[in-house]
Chain A
């Protein structure tokens, strides 16, 4: 369960202060598939970065499973991101010198798994997204859709509590986008909590809840 209360995020540029999030109240229950929608500049990615602990809000409260994240040290946040969260970025964010298998196994390895155990889990995760035969390929040897599927494998290999996806289909063609979204759908059916930022209406049907943002405020939330 994620609870957000009166979340504010501002960016300062000299004397200028731009408020991107203007007091967001939001909750996400376990097992939900939430799509955060909004036009460009609405603040949807910024919101995702705050609740996924990649960034520090200016003010407000974020509680994850009842735990106030303001009290967390950097190290605790790092451990939280490592074990509780999974991330899928718009540009895949794979490490170019690591193979598909290594990209997926690395966070598992960081969690203390042995090489064999990490590799085994990574293989399972890659097979789940249909990349069982591309284990030893470097990202540069994969198509955009395949790279995004590796990114999803990396995000789910350690069975995170929440999967965050920031415009996961933005760089993909229609076919690859459909594949990625069908993977998300399957993950959700298996009970995975997903919070996804998107601006593509086509994929809203996959989400069970659509939160709309405009000018740093939630303008529509069925809850």
Chain B
């Protein structure tokens, strides 16, 4: 069937039919192809990007590229100062921040309680002791402030509170959390850490889509150490940002080889993300592929209809072609080439729109989902596979109707008989 001669003649016919086809019709078909391509790539890309957004938020706002945390049997990283000193000597390291961490209770309106049976306006939370300047440089914590002001190193009775801990800023009920009512910047609250109680003021409210920030209390490290009754400098977390192009997995291996693993748990940011998130990512990718498949079927049907209508309206000319001796295969191939053209041009424009507009646009202005800042994930290899699928589907969808028409009786086609 696909002899070189048939391909040559098919191509000859296809080029001329396309060149002299109605610009509107061609434009419409290419537009359908473009939308199908975007549907194939963007729907999955946004669904996966929604979860990638969570990953990215964890990396930029919390864990950095690599996070060292206390071993399961310890509350802190042993010999923190030597670990930090070693890590700082490594050329891959761009930034580093240290955090103390423990459990705490925060209570408001305790002075107005009238009886011991009255339910206290209190909640439990994780309290994080930070160097405000280093933490801000690392995670941009101050940029997440939605009310009040940021901590300074000299603050001794000031805290920042995650929005999920305050009813006024929580925007809905959060499972497992009892947000404090009537608390905003300037409110005095009672903080209990390891049995130590201190009255502090809420200096600011942090809002984030990732739980470790949104459900935590932040206080200068020195104050937390005091509350915890700690005299050593051993922290609970060391977060590390690598210079651009460094591989977190390689860096993790390097740390483990150097023996850091005996003092701290070493994880890349992907390791530290809860397993459920990875499962959701897989689920969303499956959903995206499902939606894309439907899009692909719709595109196939569209092209089938378009080519079928084109072929049926040109049935007489197909009959003439066959009548003067043009092979049916060459005629079918001409329709295959036309379908290929529509799919290729649609995909090519789609690639330009995708990588020239959508990906950079969504990267610059992430989609504001309730639990993540969604980005558009469109890896080149995945896009190439989808283009291949689209082209293949389109070619089949173009070939079948042309074959149906070409197989009809030549004379019936010429004379327009049914």
B335 CB, nearest partner CB in chain A, Å? 14
For the complex, give the distance between the alpha carbons of A75 and B5 in Å. 14
Contact between chains at A102 and B16 (CB < 8 Å): yes
Chain A contacts of B414 at CB under 8 A?
Answer: 54, 89, 93
Bound together, the chains give a CA A49 to CA B12 distance in angstroms of 28
Task: Tell me, rounded to whole Å, the shortest Cβ–Cβ distance linking B182 to chain A.
Answer: 78
A55 touches B325 (CB 8 A): no
Point out the residues of chain A lying under 8 angstroms from B317, CB to CB: 95-96
CA gap between A81 and B327 in the complex, in Å: 11
Flag whether B324 is at the interface (Cβ < 8 A).
Answer: yes
The contact of B323 among A75, A79, A81, by CB within 8 Å, is: A81
Known: A97-B17, A110-B5, A112-B5. A55 touches B324 (CB 8 A): no
B252 within 8 Å of A by Cβ?
Answer: no
Task: Specify which of A55, A75, A80 lies most central, judged by the most chain B CB atoms within 10 Å of its CB.
Answer: A55
- What's the Cα separation between A93 and B409 when bound, in Å? 17
Q: With a CB–CB cut-off of 8 A, which chain A residues contact B95? A: none
Q: Which residue of A lies closest to B17 (CB)?
A: A97
Q: Which residue of B lies closest to A80 (CB)?
A: B325
A193: min CB distance to chain B, Å:
17
The distance in angstroms between the C-alpha atoms of A89 and B13, with both chains bound, is 21
A107 proximal to B (CB < 8 A): yes
Tell me if B320 and A78 are in contact (CB < 8 A): no
Return the CB mask of A96-124 against B: 1 if under 8 Å, else 0: 11100010001101111000000000000
Q: Mark A128-163, 1 if CB is under 8 A from B, else 0.
A: 000000000010000000000000001000000000
Which residues of chain B are within 8 angstroms of A93 by Cβ–Cβ distance? 320, 323-324, 414
- Please state if A78 and B20 are interface contacts (CB–CB under 8 Å): no
Taking CB atoms, residues of chain A closer than 8 Å to B9 are 106, 109-110
Question: What are the residues of chain A within 8 A of B12 when measuring CB–CB?
Answer: 106, 109
Q: Could you say which residues of chain A place their CB within 8 Å of the CB of B16?
A: 97-98, 102
* In the complex, B19 has a CB within 8 A of chain A: yes
Alpha-carbon distance A109/B327, docked complex (angstroms): 12
Contact digits for B6-28, partner A, Cβ 8 Å, 1 yes 0 no: 00110011001101110000000
What's the tally of chain B residues with a CB closer than 8 Å to chain A?
A: 25
- Are B411 and A49 within 8 A (Cβ)? yes
Expressed in whole angstroms, the minimum distance between the Cβ of B310 and any Cβ of chain A is 12
Cβ-defined partner of B325 (8 Å) among A98, A102, A107:
A107
Which interface residue of A78, A81, A85 has the most chain B CB atoms within 10 A?
Answer: A78
The answer to whether A78 touches B327 (Cβ under 8 A) is yes
For residues 35 through 84 of chain A, which have their beta carbon under 8 Å from a beta carbon of chain B? 49, 54-55, 75, 78-83
Please, what's the 1-or-0 string for B131-162, where 1 marks a CB less than 8 Å from any CB in chain A?
00000000000000000000000000000000
Would you call B326 and A87 a contact (CB within 8 A)?
Answer: no
- 29 pairs across A/B with beta carbons < 8 Å? A54-B410, A54-B414, A55-B410, A55-B411, A78-B322, A81-B323, A81-B325, A87-B323, A89-B414, A93-B323, A95-B317, A95-B320, A95-B321, A96-B20, A96-B317, A97-B17, A97-B19, A97-B21, A98-B16, A106-B9, A106-B12, A106-B326, A109-B8, A109-B9, A109-B12, A110-B325, A110-B330, A111-B325, A138-B20
Binding site for A on B (CB under 8 A): 5, 8-9, 12-13, 16-17, 19-21, 317, 320-328, 330, 409-411, 414
Q: Which 3 A-B pairs have the closest CB atoms?
A: A82-B325, A97-B20, A81-B325
